[in-house]
Copies of this chain bind each other. A is one copy, B any other.
Amino acid sequence: MDLKAYLKQKAALVDEAIMRYLPAPDTMPAKLHQAMRYSVMAGGKRVRPVLMLAACAAVGGNEKNALPAACAMEMIHTYSLIHDDLPAMDDDDFRRGRPTNHKVYGEATAILAGDALLTEAFILLSDARINSDVPPEVLLRVCSTIARCAGSMGMVGGQVVDMESEGKEIDFPTLEYIHTHKTGALILAAIQSGALIGGADEKTFDALKRYGGAVGLAFQVADDILDVVGDSQALGKSAGRDHARGKNTYPALIGLDASRSRARDLVNVAHQAIEPLGEAAEPLRAIASYIIERET
């Protein structure tokens, strides 16, 4: 399949919907709504939303039904980036080649824009009219899945342990905790949500859960590798930056070759998990392969 065209088309679908769902930029308070839009439209690849649409379609669901939840997922991802970049956290001035939210709108507004995006995600997830083709009990389970994966025992938990570990030597289980939580949890939530909205039976849901867990971790391992071998310009950030600031990465802990082999193993696990799904899961397979082949 032509993955590049697929990703482009689905990302465009997400972009169009997310613009529609976000409050208009002149809605009071205008500065807040502009700050929210600034980061949402900062050129993300929409990995999580596209995975959700693909998972929904893979189980025979209508991907349109997953669009609001997919946009909610991207809002949560964006809020986490805004807060990560704050001076008290990673203190980053640039992301994807553009000034970070707090550099443009100030620190206070950036904190609040993050808070508002996280909240907006749950507005979208709980709106019965926007999600009229999803049964309320399914929507509630999606909401619960996403909240758990984003919270203190999911993404935020991973972020805290990552922060605490900076500049320290950590063991492998701690590194896997950071990666499965900080990055993996939201990717897993995207896959699970797509499966739920698509109406997957329990067996298929479990298969996709295995896929999501493997792909989520593989994604972060590949990111760590790219930080070492990638091209700064293509990445839109300084390669080697993680290493320079004492971030714990796979290559730093187990070396580049072992990291590559770990990423390959994870992608194999992902492929095996969804083997029974046949043709409809082709995009999910292609995305998993792409993770270890990508250069940005």
The answer to whether B161 touches A28, judged by C-beta atoms less than 8 angstroms apart, is yes
Closest to A143 in B: B126
Known: A23-B152, A33-B152. A111 touches B140 (CB 8 A): no
A169-207: CB near B (< 8 Å → 1, else 0) gives 000000001000000000000000000000000000000
The answer to whether B128 touches A147, judged by C-beta atoms less than 8 angstroms apart, is no
Known: A157-B28, A160-B109. A128 touches B140 (CB 8 A): yes
In the complex, what distance in Å separates the CA atom of A109 from the CA atom of B147?
19
A118-160: CB near B (< 8 Å → 1, else 0) gives 1110110111100000001101110110011011110011011
Chain A's interface size range is 35 or more
The answer to whether A152 touches B89, judged by C-beta atoms less than 8 angstroms apart, is no
Number of this chain's copies in the assembly equals 2
**Residue from A32, A114, A150 with most neighbouring chain B CB atoms (10 Å):** A32
In the complex, what distance in Å separates the CA atom of A108 from the CA atom of B32?
22
A22-41: CB near B (< 8 Å → 1, else 0) gives 01000111011100100000
**Residue from A33, A119, A122, A125 with most neighbouring chain B CB atoms (10 Å):** A119
The answer to whether B164 touches A29, judged by C-beta atoms less than 8 angstroms apart, is yes
Closest to A27 in B: B153
A1 at the interface (CB under 8 A from B): no
Q: Distance (Å) between the CB of A172 and the closest chain B CB?
A: 16
A89-122: CB near B (< 8 Å → 1, else 0) gives 1000000000000000011110110111011101
The answer to whether A28 touches B177, judged by C-beta atoms less than 8 angstroms apart, is yes
A244 at the interface (CB under 8 A from B): no
Q: Which residues of A approach B to under 8 Å, CB–CB?
A: 23, 27-29, 31-33, 36, 79, 83, 86, 88-89, 106-109, 111-112, 114-116, 118-120, 122-123, 125-128, 136-137, 139-141, 143-144, 147-148, 150-153, 156-157, 159-161, 163-164, 177
Question: Can you list 21 residue pairs at the A/B interface with Cβ under 8 Å?
Answer: A28-B161, A32-B152, A32-B160, A79-B115, A83-B112, A108-B163, A109-B163, A115-B118, A116-B152, A118-B118, A119-B151, A122-B143, A123-B144, A126-B126, A126-B140, A126-B144, A127-B144, A128-B140, A128-B144, A136-B136, A136-B139
